[in-house]
Amino acid sequence: MKKEDARRVQKIDTKVDKMRMRRKDTDSLKVKENVFDEATLKALYTLCNRGFLNAIGGSISTGKEANVFLGEGKDADIAIKIYRISSSTFNSMEEYILGDPRFRNIRHAKKDIIFAWTKKEYRNLTRAKEAGVRVPEAIHTERNILIMEFLGEDERPYPLLKDIALDKETAKPIYDTVIKYIELLYVRANLVHGDLSEYNIIVNPRTMEPIFIDMGQSVTLEHPKAREFLMRDIENIMRFFKRYDIEGQAEELYSTMKEIKQKNQ
Ligand SMILES: Nc1ncnc2c1ncn2[C@@H]1O[C@H](COP(=O)(O)OP(=O)(O)OP(=O)(O)O)[C@@H](O)[C@H]1O
Ligand SMILES: [Mg+2]
């Protein structure tokens, strides 16, 4: 490790300790160093002071744009999704862009977009819940941080739909509920998930209840690509369940949903 990097890690280390974040291993520190820039640390600190967060636990996931951590909330476990402000692709661009007066505001602009995105996910989750769709309850947002209900037990997150063992009998009720949720989102919330697949549905292994997650990219029906995204969502789901001999007609489902929506208006 370079000397200045070592110093940075140590500095963050001290801060992490101050915030009573538990450091489980060096791997998760690396993750944290990458995610927790100064401003994000400050925001986490604020969240601590305001009682939303008592401690940060282990890493649940490192995605393309965000990291998800387990956390200790006021009176229950929480999931903390942190969108990374400096993605690696952006870092290498940064070198060229910073210092060029034409791009003076680009850092700012990128931050603003990420903050808006985080708020959008919060709002989409709230809206979905109001429409009767099971999603993690959105608790709070601050800058690039989204705090939500933790879906899991004993500090272990529930599995994704793609990872749970199913057969024809157990798959059918899950499929039916997923289709119902797509419909509720469309008819009641005016929303299309936009990235729906077996990767963004969690299943409670006890009740076999599906739960939609990851709604940052969800769009309202006014979006020019809303129909395209909706068809893609439906087709992803039908493709996944085909292996359990569940056959669905995407176009048919779409027409039914449209009819219901028109009747409701
Ligand atoms: N509320 C939650 N409770 C428990 N686990 C969660 C929760 N939200 C997300 N996760 C876990 O974290 C993973 C990543 O979450 P999410 O899909 O929202 O982020 P992402 O950055 O879009 O990830 P990816 O880039 O991998 O799609 C999920 O696959 C899931 O395993
Ligand atoms: Mg995801």
Quick: pLDDT tens for 72-120.
Answer: 999 999 999 999 887 645 555 566 656 667 767 766 777 888 898 999 9
Q: How far is the CA of 216 from the centre of ligand 2 (A)?
A: 9
Q: How confident is the model at residue 251, as a pLDDT?
A: 96
Ligand closest in space to the Cα of 77: 1
Q: Which atom of ligand 1 is nearest to the CA of 159?
A: 31
CATH code: domain of residue 44:
3.30.200.20
- Secondary structure in 3-state letters for 185-225: HHHHHCEECCCCCCCCEEEECCCCEEEECCCCCCEECCCCC
Report the domain count for the chain: 2
Task: Answer whether residue 1 is part of any domain.
Answer: no
By C-alpha distance, which of 84, 71, 249 is closest to 151? 71
Q: Are 234 and 228 in contact (CB under 8 A)?
A: no
Q: How far is the CA of 36 from the centre of ligand 2 (A)?
A: 20
Quick: pLDDT tens for 48-74.
Answer: 999 999 999 999 999 888 999 999 999
How far from each other are the two terminal CA atoms of the chain, in whole angstroms? 62
Residues recognised as catalytic? 195, 214
Residues 135 and 17 in one domain: yes
Quick: pLDDT tens for 147-205.
Answer: 999 999 999 999 999 999 999 999 999 999 999 999 999 999 999 999 999 999 999 99
Ligand 1 close to Cβ of residue 151 (< 6 A):
yes
Which residue range is the domain that position 64 belongs to? 8-151
Which of 214, 217, 218, 236, when mutated, tests ligand 1's pocket best, judged by the most ligand atoms within 8 Å of its CB? 214
Which of 124, 151, 178 represents a domain boundary (last residue)? Answer: 151
| Cα angle: 20, vertex 21, 25; to 5 degrees | 135
Residues 142 and 33 in one domain: yes
Task: Answer whether residue 252 is part of any domain.
Answer: yes
Positive or negative, the Cα torsion across 152, 74, 145, 13? negative
Q: What is the mean pLDDT of the chain?
A: 87
Here the tokens at position 74 are 């006021």
Ligand closest in space to the Cα of 214: 1
Ligand 1 close to Cβ of residue 212 (< 6 A):
no
Which of 120, 151, 182 represents a domain boundary (last residue)? Answer: 151
Which of 31, 60, 129, when mutated, tests ligand 1's pocket best, judged by the most ligand atoms within 8 Å of its CB? 60
Pick the residue whose CA is nearest to atom 13 on ligand 1. Answer: 61
By C-alpha distance, which of 256, 262, 122 is closest to 182? 256
Ligand 1 close to Cβ of residue 142 (< 6 A):
no
Residue 71's SS3 state is strand
Element (H, E) at 57: strand 55-62
Q: How far is the CA of 12 from the centre of ligand 1 (A)?
A: 25
Residues 68 and 137 in one domain: yes
Ligand 1 close to Cβ of residue 160 (< 6 A):
yes
How many Cα atoms occupy the beta-carbon half-sphere of 242 within 13 Å? 10
Ligand closest in space to the Cα of 215: 1
Residue 114's SS3 state is helix
